[in-house]
């Protein structure tokens, strides 16, 4: 799929798929093409290429199977929570008599501070966002698109959302969401796609993407000094994290075994953990790479 806005090429021949019961994180800097991708999937935009759901083009006939949370929240402030949820569910062809009995349990599930009889405008922004999340999920969609769903949520409420996403996945939904918080992506996603200037620069499982960058980060807890650690072979830099705890950046992940033998000399060591870069570090590397 490709998409141009005049002379601007917003998406350049991107291609990816999402299996049933799978969570995909769509990441990238602002302007990378994430929202344009979502809007194309939802037929909000004309685009060049083909997007299918269950091997068929996405048309109005399958809109009832889609749950969409836009980046810009938009609820009707004068409606009650119940009226808002029922109204949007009816647009998805869910009868009010089926939705109303579920509302209290959903409000409890998301720890919404308020009742279904409260007006939307009386809720805090965070609780309004949770109500909109309920509107996105209550009709049991099979394709769920969440544009920056964690924005503005504190860690406790983020955890509630993560669990709801995992529950939907376990019920067979295909889920795609964007987030600037790489920890959320790393914790929840089965795979990820990273866009840069409208092109895919990373595509794969979270573990595979991290492993392609090599296990060049070495965490050790030792009585050795930073100066002494920096003299070890293949150590590029040493950063002290806590007392006696250091991060060693290596230029060759295969040096780990030799360093381990040198540091331990056959003795116990409290910590020796060789890891690939975090997703947050990879994001910074790829987003800042102008030679891509």
Q: Output the average pLDDT for the chain.
A: 92
Question: What pLDDT was estimated at residue 46?
Answer: 93
Question: What pLDDT was estimated at residue 71?
Answer: 85
- Nearest CA to 185 out of 77, 10, 27, 62 is that of 27
d(CA 244, CA 150): 36
Question: What pLDDT was estimated at residue 289?
Answer: 59
The answer on pLDDT for 292 being more than 70 is no
Dihedral in degrees, nearest 10, Cα atoms 17, 20, 25, 31:
50
Dihedral sign, Cα of residue 33, residue 35, residue 36, residue 40? positive
Question: Mean per-residue pLDDT for 200-228?
Answer: 94
Encode pLDDT of 34-88 as tens digits.
Answer: 999 999 999 999 999 999 999 889 988 889 999 999 988 789 999 999 999 999 9
Question: Does domain 3-204 correspond to CATH entry 1.10.1270.20?
Answer: no
Q: Report how far apart, in Å, the C-alpha atoms of 230 and of each of 90, 117, 248 are.
A: 64, 64, 8
Model confidence at 18, pLDDT cuts 50, 70, 90, reads very high
User: Between 16 and 290, whose confidence is greater?
Assistant: 16
d(CA 164, CA 76): 24
The answer on pLDDT for 290 being more than 60 is no
Question: What pLDDT was estimated at residue 118?
Answer: 96
Model confidence at 205, pLDDT cuts 50, 70, 90, reads very high
The answer on pLDDT for 257 being more than 70 is yes
Residue 106, by phi and psi: left (phi above 0), alpha (psi -120 to 50) or beta? alpha
d(CA 49, CA 46): 10
d(CA 1, CA 9): 11
Model confidence at 288, pLDDT cuts 50, 70, 90, reads confident
d(CA 269, CA 285): 31
């Amino acid at each position: 799929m490709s998409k141009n806005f005049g002379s601007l090429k917003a998406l350049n021949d991107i291609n990816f798929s999402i299996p049933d019961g799978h969570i995909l994180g769509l990441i990238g800097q602002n302007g990378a093409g994430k929202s344009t991708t979502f809007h194309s999937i939802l037929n909000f935009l004309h685009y060049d290429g083909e997007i299918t759901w269950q091997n068929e083009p996405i048309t109005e006939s399958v809109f009832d199977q889609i749950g969409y949370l836009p980046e810009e929240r938009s609820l009707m402030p004068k409606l009650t929570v119940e009226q808002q949820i029922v109204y949007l569910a009816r647009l998805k062809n869910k009868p009010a008599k089926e939705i109303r009995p579920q509302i209290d349990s959903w409000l409890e599930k998301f720890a919404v501070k308020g009742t279904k009889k409260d007006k939307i405008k009386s809720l805090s922004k965070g609780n309004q966002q949770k109500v909109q999340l309920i509107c996105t999920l209550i009709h049991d969609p099979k394709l769920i698109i969440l544009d920056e769903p964690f924005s503005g949520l504190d860690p406790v409420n983020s955890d509630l959302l993560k669990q709801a996403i995992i529950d939907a996945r376990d019920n067979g939904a295909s889920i795609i969401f964007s987030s600037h918080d790489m920890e959320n992506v790393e914790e929840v996603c089965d795979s990820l796609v990273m866009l840069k200037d409208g092109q895919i620069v990373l595509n794969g499982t979270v573990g595979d993407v991290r492993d392609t960058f090599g296990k060049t980060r070495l965490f050790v807890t030792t009585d050795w000094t930073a100066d002494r650690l920096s003299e070890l072979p293949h150590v590029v830099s040493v950063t002290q994290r806590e007392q006696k705890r250091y991060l060693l950046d290596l230029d060759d992940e295969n040096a780990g075994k030799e360093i381990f033998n040198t540091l331990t000399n056959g003795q116990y060591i409290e910590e020796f953990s060789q890891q690939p870069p975090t997703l947050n570090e990879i994001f910074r590397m790829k987003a800042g790479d102008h030679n891509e």
